[in-house]
Structure 1
Amino acid sequence: MGKGLIPADLDTWKKRRRVIAPGFHASYLEAMVKIFSDCSERTIMKFEKLLESEQSLAGDTVQLDLEAEFSSLALDIIGLGVFNYDFGSFTNESPVIKAVYGTLSEAEHRSTFYIPYWKIPLAKWVVPRQRKFQNDLKIINECLDGLIRNAKETRQETDIEQLQQRQYLNLKDASLLRFLVDMRGADVDDSQLRDDLMTMLVAGHETTAAVLTWAVFLLAQNPTKLKKAQAEIDLVLGLERPSFESIKKLEYLRLIVVEALRLYPQPPLLIRRTLKADVLPGGYQGDRDGYAIPAGTDIFLSVYNLHRSPYFWDRPHDFEPERFQVPKESNDRQGWAGFDPSRSPGALYPNEIISDFAFLPFGGGPRKCVGDQFAFMESTVALAMLLQKFDVELKGSPEDVELVTGATIHTKNGLWCKLRRREVRCFSNEKEMIV
């Protein structure tokens, strides 16, 4: 990821954050909802064709590894939304797609391996895994360089005016790459821009796929909550695709995504470095005097344990999307102000401010993930369109789904589920119509 937002030094990060953050404007997200829906619809159509094929069981159900399907979906969305590049991974595997998955695998390997052997001189040529990685990286970089070059060559003043006025819906290409190139001009550094795009590819792909995977895993074990979500989808959407406005009405579905992120945060671990000496509070059953931390200390934050702490959450291991609808008093918990939605008025999704940093799905503070709303909305749209058309149940027992923790929390052997076509209930003029 070079000097992309995640690994960048402080000075580089400040400059890039100022450039990138405006690109995730509300108008951009509104334009992205169409891409979320387009890509999700392609995935749904694939499922429907499988149901109609002879391979399905009596045409009644189809068995799929939804984790793999969500991974393809998330890759296509990142490609179109960030690069204006259609990976088309739901139908084929191009060399670029294979290289992307190889690079993502290497990213996780490096984040969890004990010794950074890849830094040893000549390792990238001697170690087979590292030789493959260098080749994968070369393929992706050539692809990104081509996209950057094309974006610069097709830069138009009319597009720049529309971008400045946040008129994304009028643009043929509303991608983040288009914004970064058009707003900065030909002087934008190709190497830095490629690092930015690579970071978004790595950080924004598997994380979203994991959110959808665990949301379905939890819903499949809670049929009452699944039906409640489908009833809301039927009422708000009927047979229509989600829009920016309809997402605002899918309150329960949004909370399902949030609760999935509480139980299975992506990533499960955050790392911060102290800029100056400080004293950390003692926290739950800790030292009441806190802990002195010298400047330059690396702090590892276990978001997974924070999100399941009985100090902050009632029945912390239970799947209860409704919990985010109810304010929670601090009850004299040291250093915590409780859970209060009024702290962030207008927020579509609960965040670290509402929870006083007891909920950190995208981090917090200045280096919080810049694409949090993009990921939230992407997950909401994809989940809505899946549940709109299908009932979902696990192929085996929940115990069969083994958890693997690395850069993200994912399954060991996939999330195998049975999909069954469902009746869609449309509500109009207080009359119910079943389709």
Structure 2
Amino acid sequence: MAVGADAGVGTGAEVPALAGVPLLGSLLDLKADSLGTYLRAQHRHGDVVRVSAGPPGLRADLYCVFSAEGAQQVLASEAANFRKDNHFYEEVRKSFGNGLLTAQDEDYLRQRRLVQPLFTRRRVDGYAGAVAAETSAVVASWADAPGGVVDVSGQMMHLALRAVARILFGTDVETTAGVVARCFPVITDYVLARGYSPANIPRTWPTPGNRRAAAAMEELYGACDQIIERRRRDGTEAAGEDLLTLLAAARSSDDREFDADELRDQVLIFLLAGHETTATSLCFALHLLARHPEQQDLARAEISRVLGDRTPEAADLDRLPFLGRVVKEAMRLYPAAPVIGRKSVAATRIGGYAVPAGADVILAPWVTHRHPAYWPDPDRFDPGRFTPEAEAGRPRYAWFPFGGGPRACIGQHFSMLESVLALAIILRAHAFEAVDTEIPVSAGITLRTEGPARCRIRPLL
């Protein structure tokens, strides 16, 4: 039984509820602006709020937890009591496979044991060259930008996809990047539509939406399966040291390996989590620096002082602390995973409130990262919030863009490495001025921009 999940938890206070409309509760508000709805819930009712959504008979009660202490309880101290059993994760699992993001129990533990050695700092640092090469190629392409304006949202998505595909697939990057760019939007939109709907028709019914998603999944799965089969057939010496080859060769202590389907599931999850999340961080780091030229100048001065004219390498991550703080502040204001869902196994108390067994529990980094108890003037962009002294003065889970606890993101170091090195190359080559000063966003599987994030660029080299 989880810590706190004892017979007395029912004595906790009743969770305050966000007012909705008759019949549908807050369903329309969540569909129109879920992030704004969660912010409003915290502002009105505090750190534990119940949000009801859907018609009678299909209504869902979401127990929203907004405090750092509550996030730590759900993700770490009582992690065993909060599982990825909710409806949304099931839709992700059915489309992107049962990889590290969605697996549970022994499946998850076995996968983590197999994958963990491939994400040590030393191993990840070896990918710095691929990040630098792909970033330099993107920067070079901006010489032809119409009117000197680039959409950093689309450009960073392209960069992050190219980088993770190159690291995963090595020489097969050209084929796979195109397939992923074509198929992922179709599949993610399908997952979102089903994941946020209180009821869905079977996936097997031949509706236009089902057929589009099935075709995209077939193409994506087929491309991955062909490469996996070729890796297994040709062996590691022919393929080199890309991540897929290492995954195919991974063995656990009981001498088990991934079968072909499990290997594809890991690849799909790495593609999903490894490019959309970093792309979001890079996009908003550039957008925020474009709106704050004084901070951009400080970042560029550090880059010039540390790098001069040389290509950045992994060791430079620790030599560029201000740029690291810029990335962290961008992740605070625009966390790539703005909402995290769990389902409680047993009744418990969070912040003094009773949370029943089987409850859908929502954590919202989007809200916690703006909580005035931890972040004075929370909407202001200020990289100084992430000096070592400032970080030491806040609760551990006031900032958790990578989740936390036993299921913390395995790719944290890679994300920071890629973001800092890519920004160093980009900012050394160009100055940025924001064209779009406000970027509407929404919560998808990851944070999504609703429209362009255009910047006017000025070459510096």
Q: Do these two structures clear the TM 0.5 threshold for a shared fold by scoring above it? A: yes
Q: Matches of 2:282 and 2:197 in 1, distance apart? A: 29
1:140 aligned to 205, 209, 220, which one?
220
Q: Counterparts in 2 of 1:134-283, with a 5 A limit?
A: 134-156=214-236, 173-184=240-251, 188-281=258-351
Cα drift, residue 109 of structure 1: 3.7
Answer yes or no: is the 8 Å Cα contact 1:96–1:139 preserved in 2: no
Following TM superposition, where does structure 1 have runs of at least 4 consecutive aligned residues deviating by more than 6 angstroms? none
Cα drift, residue 307 of structure 1: 0.5
Answer yes or no: is the 8 Å Cα contact 2:346–2:356 preserved in 1: yes
Cα drift, residue 224 of structure 1: 0.2
| Gapped regions of structure 1 (runs ≥ 5) | 160-170, 282-289, 329-338, 342-353, 424-435
Which residue does the alignment assign to 2:159?
Answer: 73
TM-score normalised to the size of structure 1?
Answer: 0.78
Amino acid at match of 1:278: T
Q: Matches of 1:231 and 1:121 in 2, distance apart? A: 54
Q: Counterparts in 2 of 1:351-370, with a 5 A limit?
A: 355-370=395-410
Q: Matches of 1:149 and 1:121 in 2, distance apart? A: 28
Which region of structure 1 is more displaced relative to structure 2, 39-48 or 224-233? 39-48
Cα drift, residue 67 of structure 1: 0.7
Which residue does the alignment assign to 2:448?
Answer: 410
Are the structure 2 counterparts of residues 375 and 96 from structure 1 closer, same or farther at C-alpha, using a change threshold of 3 Å? closer
Which residue does the alignment assign to 1:375?
Answer: 415
TM-score normalised to the size of structure 2?
Answer: 0.74
Q: Matches of 1:357 and 1:143 in 2, distance apart? A: 39
Cα drift, residue 409 of structure 1: 2.4
Q: Matches of 1:93 and 1:188 in 2, distance apart? A: 23
2:190 aligned to 96, 106, 110, which one?
106
Amino acid at match of 1:152: R
Structure with more relative contact order (C-alpha pairs < 8 Å, separation 6 or more): 2
Which residue does the alignment assign to 2:48?
Answer: none
- Where 2:127 maps in the other structure, the secondary structure is helix
Q: Matches of 2:108 and 2:417 in 1, distance apart? A: 25
Cα drift, residue 83 of structure 1: 3.0
Which residue does the alignment assign to 1:320?
Answer: 382
Are the structure 2 counterparts of residues 410 and 195 from structure 1 closer, same or farther at C-alpha, using a change threshold of 3 Å? same
Q: What do residues 64-111 of structure 1 show as CA deviations (whole Å, max 9, x unaligned)?
A: 11111111111111111123355449xx98455312332333344444
Q: Matches of 1:315 and 1:200 in 2, distance apart? A: 35
Are the structure 2 counterparts of residues 103 and 324 from structure 1 closer, same or farther at C-alpha, using a change threshold of 3 Å? same
Kindly report the root-mean-square deviation, in angstroms, between the aligned alpha carbons of the 2 structures.
2.4
Cα drift, residue 172 of structure 1: 7.1
Amino acid at match of 1:23: L
Answer yes or no: is the 8 Å Cα contact 1:308–1:317 preserved in 2: yes
- Where 1:267 maps in the other structure, the secondary structure is coil
Amino acid at match of 2:453: L
Are the structure 2 counterparts of residues 298 and 235 from structure 1 closer, same or farther at C-alpha, using a change threshold of 3 Å? same
Are the structure 2 counterparts of residues 145 and 233 from structure 1 closer, same or farther at C-alpha, using a change threshold of 3 Å? same
Q: Matches of 1:221 and 1:121 in 2, distance apart? A: 44
Aligned-residue sequence identity (percent) comes to: 28
Answer yes or no: is the 8 Å Cα contact 2:429–2:459 preserved in 1: yes
Q: Counterparts in 2 of 1:44-55, with a 5 A limit?
A: 44-48=139-143, 50=144
- Where 1:8 maps in the other structure, the secondary structure is coil
- Where 2:354 maps in the other structure, the secondary structure is strand
- Where 1:357 maps in the other structure, the secondary structure is helix
Cα drift, residue 115 of structure 1: 3.4
Q: What do residues 149-179 of structure 1 show as CA deviations (whole Å, max 9, x unaligned)?
A: 12222335xx6xxxxxxxxxxx973322221
Q: Matches of 1:316 and 1:378 in 2, distance apart? A: 26
| Gapped regions of structure 2 (runs ≥ 5) | 1-95
Are the structure 2 counterparts of residues 388 and 364 from structure 1 closer, same or farther at C-alpha, using a change threshold of 3 Å? same
Q: Matches of 2:174 and 2:158 in 1, distance apart? A: 8
Which residue does the alignment assign to 2:202?
Answer: 120
Answer yes or no: is the 8 Å Cα contact 1:152–1:186 preserved in 2: no
Structure having the larger proportion of residues in helix: 2
Q: Counterparts in 2 of 1:52-63, with a 5 A limit?
A: 56-57=146-147, 62-63=148-149
- Where 1:380 maps in the other structure, the secondary structure is helix
Answer yes or no: is the 8 Å Cα contact 1:270–1:302 preserved in 2: yes
Are the structure 2 counterparts of residues 121 and 304 from structure 1 closer, same or farther at C-alpha, using a change threshold of 3 Å? closer
- Where 2:140 maps in the other structure, the secondary structure is helix
Are the structure 2 counterparts of residues 132 and 21 from structure 1 closer, same or farther at C-alpha, using a change threshold of 3 Å? same
Answer yes or no: is the 8 Å Cα contact 2:228–2:244 preserved in 1: yes
Q: What do residues 21-47 of structure 1 show as CA deviations (whole Å, max 9, x unaligned)?
A: 221011211111111111111101111
2:128 aligned to 33, 36, 58, which one?
33
Cα drift, residue 360 of structure 1: 0.6
Cα drift, residue 223 of structure 1: 0.4
Cα drift, residue 355 of structure 1: 4.2
Are the structure 2 counterparts of residues 96 and 228 from structure 1 closer, same or farther at C-alpha, using a change threshold of 3 Å? closer
